[in-house]
Chain A
Amino acid sequence: MRHLFGYEERSAALFLAPVMLVLMGVAVFPIFYSLYISFFRIKLTRPNRTPFVGLDNYTDLFTNELFWVSVVRTVTFSVVSVTAIAVIALLISLLLNQNFRGRRVLSTILLVPWAIPYVANALMWKWIYDSGYGALNGVLYQLDFIDKYMIWLGDQDKTIFLIANAFVWKEVPLAAILLLVSLKSIPSDLYQAARVDGAGVWQRFIHVTLPAMKPGFMLVMIYETMMAIRHFDLFFILTEGGPGDASHVLSWHIYVETFRNLSFGSGAAMSYVLALVTFALSYVFIRTLGRRI
């Protein structure tokens, strides 16, 4: 054929070229480059000695105790956060799906946590959790739940849950909005049919609402899991992985290895492992979204 690619292909190529260039340059290339450097022992404190070490960075990683600790911490954080997000977001979306005066105002209020930067969020919670002057102690003390100020973030048994709480607070709005969207897409005749069939409020929720929300729910869960696994900002500002290793999550581990120990090679290896894990997780996510567009 004379024209292998016609006008359509050519214009599509032209339209997609910028995006593809950007993504190739700033996402695909780095990820492969990262694979490459993960085979070297690159320490920026020793700029001139960067031997090829093959898979050593990976084997070191899996024998590193702290790495496994960080995996456990990450899993704990993600499970706790995502469960909480799912439950709270579900309740909120059900509430916002009702018709009542002030619904718009309420959904606007809901956007506040979503809009504020994570750093400001972290700063805010750090101040709330402050063991000396924080609001949490203040409230609990004034309500007589505690008789003296407590240590919060410094308590290794509480810290990961407190960080999760800050994370949940910020993530819930988006999750709720996404769920609300999927609630709104349930055709109302489905409810009417269920009513005619004699289903009560609870039964309608179980048999109509929940099944119809399932895809949206899945999406929210996967998305939030991805966000939780990779989360960094709160750990950086609230605890720096501490106390001890109580909040030493994977992303913090990578940060320390890379930017404190300056071991770029093993840092890259860890990043790669993290990328593969999230990638496997998000397979479903991509498939669902990809089919939709």
Chain B
Amino acid sequence: MARIRFENVEKKYANGFHAVKDLNLEIRDKEFLVLLGPSGCGKSTTLNMIAGLEEVSDGSLLFDDELVNYMPPHKRDVAMVFQSYALYPHKSVYDNIAFGLQMRRAPREETDRRVRDAARKLEIEHLLDRRPSQLSGGQRQRVALGRAMVREPAVFLMDEPLSNLDAALRISMRAEIKELHQEMQTTFVYVTHDQAEALTLADRIVVMRDGVVQQIGSPGDIYERPRNTFVASFLGNPPINYIEGQIKVTDDQMVRFVQGELELNFPAETAAKLADCDGLTVLLGIRAEDVEEGSHGGAGAVLTGKVNSVLPVGSDLFLGFELFGNELFFRVGKDIGHASGDEVSLTVDLNRLHVFDKDSGASLIW
């Protein structure tokens, strides 16, 4: 049972750096929460505050309903997996995994049973007598997981646990971690700067920037309905495209996005939200995958421009596309028969357009 609640939490360092600003967040029991953001955004600091490795400067941090601001890490029932794994070089794999239990004075047989269980699950039984220096990166990763698992903690913290692995291993470990969460039935807090990891693993994602929470929501929510340009840009590969333009509300209650000759008509639902925005300068966001080749969408839904570059990525193709001097990137099927310099038309999925206020970057529709 572990709910974690941040109430107006601040973190300031002695050197004046303001790492986390007015954080309000409730992490639900047994939830898989991912803290996502670029480096320096405060996500690791937040995680460390949960662990007790960093002290809360101001505000309250509660576990269930207990204030834990000043509780040192060894008094909290948390386990943590680190980016560098932080295995104890002088201890065998077995002792590395058992250490946390030993420190909490678990009975010897119980410790042994749990260590061997975990080792079996992680398929590292044959490595128990080795030293960390004799292991590969993936094996170390498993030992680090094992060390956290055996503790059966109320909260399971992971700080970029996969970033030191190579790409293939990273994907398979993702799956294992997801499985682990389901098996352990405990609260996971996971820090990453990798959007794909966040989207795959999370029940909910918290996007942070410069110490401020940008958006909290399910992966779908975050991806489909980004609250601002930062969130929108941070997720998506290739990143979301922006076109600057004006909102035009016509007499017949049609709402259009206008930029020079380009006019896009918003569908009714979106239009309703933009009814008061006549004349506002906005950024129109189009995700790379939200276009189709061809002009079948008809007027008000078609972008026409010149192909700048064609970048095949295997499964599909990134198309560099020039429009009003901006270079936009779209993801299209790999069968497209265009080459650089060709003129193409793309039909936009109007239901999936994003509109942000140009000045504040805030979404006007979500």
- Where the two chains meet, the residues of A that have a C-beta atom closer than 8 Å to any C-beta of B are 1, 3, 6-8
The residues of B that contact A8 with a CB separation of less than 8 Å are 55
Chain A residues, CB < 8 A from B72:
7
In the assembled complex, B366 has its CB within 8 A of some CB on chain A:
no
Q: How many angstroms from the CA of A7 to the CA of B58 in the assembled complex?
A: 15
Taking the closest CB of chain A, its distance from the CB of B64, in whole angstroms, is 20
Residues on B facing A (Cβ under 8 Å): 55, 58, 69-72
| CB-based A-B contact count at 8 angstroms | 10
The distance from the CB of A63 to the nearest CB of chain B, in whole angstroms, is 49
Q: In the complex, which residue of chain A has the Cβ closest to the Cβ of B52?
A: A7
List residues of chain B with CB within 8 A of the CB of A7.
55, 70-72
Cα distance A1–B72 when bound, in Å?
A: 18
Q: A3-B70, A7-B72, A8-B55 are in contact. List 7 more A-B contacts (CB 8 A).
A: A1-B58, A3-B69, A6-B55, A6-B70, A7-B55, A7-B70, A7-B71
Report the minimum CB–CB distance from A261 to chain B (whole Å): 50
A2 to chain B, nearest CB (A): 8
From A11, which residue of chain B is reached at the shortest CB distance?
Answer: B72
Q: How far is the CA of A6 from the CA of B69 in the complex (A)?
A: 9
CB distance from B10 to the nearest CB of A (A): 12
What are 8 A-B residue pairs whose CB atoms fall within 8 Å in the complex? A1-B58, A3-B69, A3-B70, A6-B70, A7-B55, A7-B71, A7-B72, A8-B55
Q: Which of chain B's residues has its CB closest to A7's CB? A: B72
| Distance in Å: Cβ of B55 to nearest Cβ of chain A | 5
Chain A residues with CB under 8 Å of B69's CB are: 3
Closest to B71 in A: A7
Give every chain A residue within 8 A of B71 (Cβ-Cβ): 7
- Complex Cα–Cα for A6 and B68 (A): 12
Q: Which residues of B contact A1 (CB under 8 A)?
A: 58
Nearest CB of chain B from residue A290's CB, rounded to whole Å: 16
| B209 smallest CB distance to A (angstroms) | 27
A221 to B71, CA, bound (A): 48
Would you list the 4 A-B pairs with minimal beta carbon distance, nearest first? A7-B72, A6-B55, A3-B70, A6-B70
CA of A3 to CA of B71, assembled, Å: 12
Q: Which residues of B contact A6 (CB under 8 A)?
A: 55, 70
B75 to chain A: closest CB distance in Å? 9
* Shortest distance between the CB of B56 and any CB in chain A (Å): 9
Which residues of the other chain, A, contact B55 by a CB distance below 8 angstroms? 6-8
Nearest-Cβ distance from residue A3 to partner chain B, whole angstroms: 5
CA distance A292 to B69 in the complex (A): 32
Cβ-closest chain A residue relative to B54:
A8
How many Å lie between the Cα of A6 and that of B58 in the bound state?
Answer: 12
A118 to chain B, nearest CB (A): 38
Measured between alpha carbons, how far is A127 from B71 in the docked complex, in Å?
66
Chain A neighbourhood of B58, CB < 8 A: 1
Q: Who on chain B is nearest to A6 by CB?
A: B55
Q: Give bound CA distance, A6 to B11, whole Å.
A: 14
Measured in the bound complex, the distance between the Cα atoms of B73 and A6 in whole Å is 12
C-alpha gap A11/B71 in the complex (Å): 13
Q: How far is the CA of A112 from the CA of B70 in the complex (A)?
A: 53
**Nearest chain A CB to B78's CB is how many angstroms away?**
15
Contacts of B70 in A (CB 8 A): 3, 6-7
Q: How far is the CA of A7 from the CA of B52 in the complex (A)?
A: 10
A8 vs B53: C-alpha distance when bound (angstroms): 9
Measured CB to CB, the closest approach of chain B to A120, in angstroms, equals: 39
A267 to chain B, nearest CB (A): 42
Q: How far is the CB of B351 from chain A (nearest CB, A)?
A: 51
A3 to B56, CA, bound (A): 11
Chain A residue nearest to B55 (CB atoms) is A6
Give the shortest distance, in Å, between A292 (CB) and chain B (any CB).
18
Q: What is the minimal beta-carbon distance from A87 to any residue of chain B, in angstroms?
A: 42
Bound-complex Cα distance A210 to B72 (A): 48
Closest to B53 in A: A8
Instruction: For the complex, give the distance between the alpha carbons of A69 and B55 in Å.
Output: 59
CA distance A7 to B71 in the complex (A): 8
Which residues from B are CB-within-8-Å of A3? 69-70
Shortest A291–chain B CB gap in Å is: 14
Given the complex of chains A and B, what is the CA–CA distance between A8 and B52 in angstroms?
10
CA distance A61 to B72 in the complex (A): 57
Cα A6 to Cα B52 in complex, Å, equals 11
Complex: A7 Cα to B54 Cα, angstroms = 10
